[in-house]
Every structure is written in C-alpha cells, then in structure tokens.
Amino acid sequence: MSQFAYDDAMLVNIISGTGAALDKMGSVNNQVMGIAGQLPTVNNSTSGIRLAAALGDWNSSFSRVVNDLRTLNDKANQLLQVNRTANADADAAAGGAAG
C-alpha cells in the first residue's frame, strides 16, 4: 500500500541513498580539509589566500548539504514508519472487522 505516493521500497532507496551520499561526502570533505591544512605552508600568496577563501566557502556549503541530506533521511525514515504503521493498522482493522 502506498501513502503520500511513496511506497516502502522507494523510501528505503532514499534512506540508503542519502546514507551512502553522506559517507562519500565525508570522505571528500576529509580530503579537502587535508589540503586546506597544508595550504598556508605551501602557498602563502595572493592565490593561496583566494584558495583559502574558496575552501571556506566549501566548508559552509558542505555543512548545509550534509544537514539537508540528514533532514531528508530523517523525513524519509519518519514517512516509512508512518507507512508501516498505517499498513499494520489497516491490516488489524480488516482482520477485526472480518472476525
């Protein structure tokens, strides 16, 4: 049964997809932050300052994207639970009415 036009399989795919994306983004962020830590040592010039500013923008954007993915994951989990509860309640009501 599908509530809100999202069935359980679709919600499970969203949940696993956002989880995988968060894992991959964490790896990329670790690499970017590793470069950012080395930047003052290897490029202490105007271009280095500009690159450091760009990395600051990355950090801010990264945090927003991660928070949005976590919110999406939480909402998909909540909706999955609503779907499953509604299915169980409907099954119980149908069983109770027939019995």
Which residues is 81 bridged to in the sheet? Answer: none
Q: Is 75 helix (H, G, I), strand (E, B) or coil?
A: helix
- Which pLDDT belongs to residue 49? 84
Q: What percent of the chain has pLDDT over 90?
A: 45
pLDDT of residue 37: 82
Q: Which of 7-16, 18-27, 30-39, 76-85 has the lowest mean pLDDT?
A: 30-39
Q: What are phi and psi of 61, to 5 degrees?
A: -65, -40
What is the distance between the alpha carbons of residues 39 and 85, in angstroms, rounded to a whole number?
Answer: 52
Q: For residue 68, how many other CB atoms are within 10 A of its CB?
A: 11
Band the pLDDT of 4: cuts 50, 70, 90.
low
Integer Cα distance of 72 and 36 in angstroms: 29
Q: Domain coordinates of the chain in residue numbers?
A: 8-89
Rounded percentage of the chain residues whose pLDDT exceeds 70: 92
The confidence score (pLDDT) of residue 99 equals 46
Contact 83, 75 (CB under 8 A): no
Over range 42-66, report the average pLDDT. 88
